[in-house]
Structure 1
Amino acid sequence: MTYHPSKKRQAKIIRLFRKVHRKTGALLFVFFFFISVSGLLLGWKNNSNGTIIPKTQNGTSTNLKEWLPINQLHQKALVILHDSISTNLDNTIDRIDIRKNKGIVKFVFENHYWEIQLDGATGNLLSIGKRNSDLIENIHDGSILDKWFNTSKKPFKLIYTTIMGGSLLLFTISGFWLWFGPKIMKRTRKKL
């Protein structure tokens, strides 16, 4: 059976895509594994019964006029952090999450994964919890390395997401061609 020149070219392209697909997959297997598992966990975080992310509690008032000033709530959160968790923990705040509809304020810290929830009106402690979701997110996007090496512009996250996003795009294109290429070859064979 003689091959038409375009069939040879098509077969060559399919072999090339198969080789790239296989080698890239083998090279990045571990990273794809971590991305898929961490992505699944992040998707389920709100349904984890407080295991991945602490449940959001309810405060006594949703009326902001009845709430304590943020500075006062902040000071209470810092005292609770050192008295209830550890005096050695850094008290730098990453973000303050105000949930008016729940009547609470969450204090999330920058250099560890603890969260403190306070009643916005009374300042009473509602919850102390570990934010495993933040750790999982740092693993998912590669910023865990930036945290470990204390980099300011997050170069590891940028490099990691560029490589993994590009690889996913490459897998999508090569996978599509591995599926579609033989169909084209079959049609060409029928025409001949």
Structure 2
Amino acid sequence: MTKNNRRQQQAKVIRIFRKIHRTTGALLFFFFLFISITGLLLGWKKNSNGLILAKTEKGTSTELMDWLPLETLKQNAQKIFRDSISTELSPEIDRIDVRPDKGILKFKFVDNYYGIQLDGATGNLLKIERRRSDFIEQVHDGSILDRYLGTSDGQIKLFYTTVMGLALLVFTITGFWLWYGPKRMKRIAKNS
């Protein structure tokens, strides 16, 4: 292969990569915008002064022996949910975050973005929180569509994260080659 043919072939590869880079960017622009904004918000959630992620309160005892039984605390959280948040929303608990070092438990509910922090020893309410970080996380990973469309097993999230991950990989490869390819061509032309 002659030098000129090799240079033309390298230029052709760069043009193809530029087209792939531009097309992928145009097609996925809004998705990358959502991912970048929500990623920034999630990165700052602990430093948001309670706006994105509520401050974790402190309980009266860090000794688990002093704590009420888990079932009692769960029932207390569900009662507080019905009395203070909503009788219409489901008080079904999605998960319980136990923080022995803080003396508290955080209860997160299934179909809403509320959370309740209880003192582990007394069962007293420490905080009712809006879990904005959960909503932001669901927008970030696409699982919010699974939630609202009722799909099972996170099918939309899996598709979304696969497409976005592959697109980011394509951007990385094509972006690198768009930067490196012309430098390489100049170096080869200079040396010959």
Q: Under a length normalisation based on structure 2, what TM-score does the superposition of the two structures give?
A: 0.98
Unaligned runs of 5+ in 2: none
Alpha-carbon contact 2:109-2:115 (below 8 Å) kept = yes
Amino acid at match of 1:168: L
Amino acid at match of 1:107: F
2:4 is matched with 4
Amino acid at match of 2:39: G
Amino acid at match of 2:122: T
Per the TM alignment, residue 3 of structure 1 is displaced from its structure 2 partner at its CA by 6.5
What does 1:15-164 correspond to in 2, within 5 Å? 15-164=15-164
Amino acid at match of 2:130: K
Identity in percent = 61
Aligned equivalents of 2:89, 2:55: Cα separation in 1 = 22
SS of 1:19's equivalent in the other structure is helix
Query: What is the aligned residue count?
Result: 191
Amino acid at match of 1:83: D
Per the TM alignment, residue 151 of structure 1 is displaced from its structure 2 partner at its CA by 1.8
SS of 1:129's equivalent in the other structure is strand
Unaligned runs of 5+ in 1: none
Alpha-carbon contact 2:78-2:92 (below 8 Å) kept = no
Aligned equivalents of 1:185, 1:35: Cα separation in 2 = 35
Per the TM alignment, residue 24 of structure 1 is displaced from its structure 2 partner at its CA by 0.5
Per the TM alignment, residue 92 of structure 1 is displaced from its structure 2 partner at its CA by 1.6
1:101-136 Cα deviation digits (max 9, x unpaired):
000000001111100000000000000000000000
**1:189 and 2:159 matched:** no
Aligned equivalents of 1:173, 1:154: Cα separation in 2 = 28
Amino acid at match of 1:31: F
Runs of at least 4 residues off by over 4 Å = none
1:16-65 Cα deviation digits (max 9, x unpaired):
00010001101100000000000000000001111101110000000000
RMSD: 1.0
Alpha-carbon contact 2:61-2:103 (below 8 Å) kept = yes
Aligned equivalents of 2:139, 2:75: Cα separation in 1 = 31
Aligned equivalents of 1:60, 1:11: Cα separation in 2 = 69
Amino acid at match of 2:138: N
2:169 is matched with 169
Aligned equivalents of 1:3, 1:38: Cα separation in 2 = 48
Aligned equivalents of 1:47, 1:184: Cα separation in 2 = 44
Aligned equivalents of 1:20, 1:149: Cα separation in 2 = 31
SS of 1:111's equivalent in the other structure is coil
Q: Under a length normalisation based on structure 1, what TM-score does the superposition of the two structures give?
A: 0.98
Aligned equivalents of 1:111, 1:13: Cα separation in 2 = 50
